[in-house]
Amino acid sequence: MTACLHQTVFGDGKPLVLLHGWAMHSAVWCDFAQILAQDARIICVDLPGHGLSQTVQPYDLDHVAAAVLDTIDEPVFSVLGWSLGATVAMAMIERAPERIQRLFVLAGNPHFIQSVDWPGVKPEILDRFADLLQTDTEQSLTRFLALQINGQPHGRRVLQALKQGVRQRPPPTQAVLQAGIDILKTSDLRDTVIRATLPMHWILGGRDALVPVEAGERLHRLKRSMTLDILPDASHAPFLSHTATLRPLISGRL
């Protein structure tokens, strides 16, 4: 089933699609999107089952990526994915490489879960969120938001901005939240990224509790053509905490 996805557009110029993270929606981009819109046409999409978008069945990475591709009218565009949105963006370049001009990954990992051969988040962290979803969805989301500002200077301000953005639209259902966790736990897009020929730009936070810098460094050794920028003081939501630093790293490369 193809979902009808909600999108909001800012500015004119080269198209750049922004894809948000787990449990969020595209309104969290609002201030940052309008800054980027000074340089490009910014298309903010609510992922399936998030915000104002319909869901997809079955809810898996392939159907989510297909729904986003079907929603975007532009024949060719760049995409910036944050966290789960980065996983979706990587799946999009596998599904329709001819349509994606440039990939920006913000706090994303092609293999999100830590394994013996790859740095990532410990599986038990996502398992705890999954278990808590079964009994207290709101508490699970609150803990997840707090984790994203771990060690962040001015963390309270960033957390408040995240909470304020999330409250602007209805929360995802428990089923959609669980499906998103399953996507993060099971997806492995390392080969997709390594094989892809389009320009790629990775931006990671040095204090990110979910995506370790080592993942980007490992990937950069495997794919020397990609750029890797580390924001030492940033956590998992640098578009809220490091806006001025991010703008040239994105707009300057479109």
For the chain, 254 residues long, give each residue's pLDDT as a single digit of tens: 466 899 999 999 999 999 999 988 999 898 899 999 999 999 999 999 999 999 999 999 999 999 999 999 999 999 999 999 999 999 999 999 999 999 999 999 999 999 999 999 999 988 888 887 777 776 677 777 676 666 656 667 777 766 776 777 888 998 999 999 999 999 999 999 999 999 999 999 999 989 999 999 999 999 999 999 999 999 888 898 899 999 999 999 99
- Judge whether 2 lies within some domain: no
- Judge whether 54 lies within some domain: yes
Rounded CA-CA distance 51/77 in Å is 23
pLDDT score, position 114: 96
Which of the following is catalytic: 78, 208, 235, 251?
208
pLDDT score, position 167: 77
- Judge whether 119 lies within some domain: yes
pLDDT score, position 154: 62
Is residue 62 annotated as a catalytic residue, yes or no?
A: no
Where does residue 202 rank: exposed (0-12), middle (13-18), buried (19+ CB within 10 A)?
buried
Residue 158 corresponds to which tokens in the numbers above? 């960033």
Residue 58: is the preceding peptide bond cis (ω within 30°)? Answer: yes
The total domain count for the chain is: 1
Query: CA nearest 85: which of 113, 105, 99?
Result: 105
For the chain, the distance separating the N- and C-terminal CA atoms, rounded to the nearest angstrom, is 33
pTM: 0.93
pLDDT score, position 163: 72
Angle subtended at Cα 227 by Cα 224 and Cα 233, rounded to the nearest 5 degrees: 130
- Judge whether 94 lies within some domain: yes
Which of the following is catalytic: 53, 83, 187, 251?
83
Helix (H) or strand (E) holding 200: strand 200-205
Residue 251 corresponds to which tokens in the numbers above? 């707009």
Is residue 83 annotated as a catalytic residue, yes or no?
A: yes
- Judge whether 47 lies within some domain: yes
Query: CA nearest 67: which of 163, 2, 23, 143?
Result: 2
- Judge whether 1 lies within some domain: no
How many helices and strands in the chain, by DSSP H and E?
A: 11, 7
Is residue 136 annotated as a catalytic residue, yes or no?
A: no
CA dihedral 105, 111, 115, 119 (to 10 degrees): -10
Q: Are 86 and 205 in contact (CB under 8 A)?
A: no
- Judge whether 15 lies within some domain: yes
DSSP tag of 122: -
Query: CA nearest 47: which of 19, 78, 15, 8?
Result: 19
Contact partners, residue 240, CB within 8 Å, separation at least 6? 32, 158, 161, 162
- Judge whether 29 lies within some domain: yes
Which of the following is catalytic: 20, 25, 50, 236?
236
CATH classification at residue 172: 3.40.50.1820
pLDDT score, position 134: 75
CB atoms within 10 A of CB 1: 10
- By residue range, what is the domain housing residue 174? 7-251
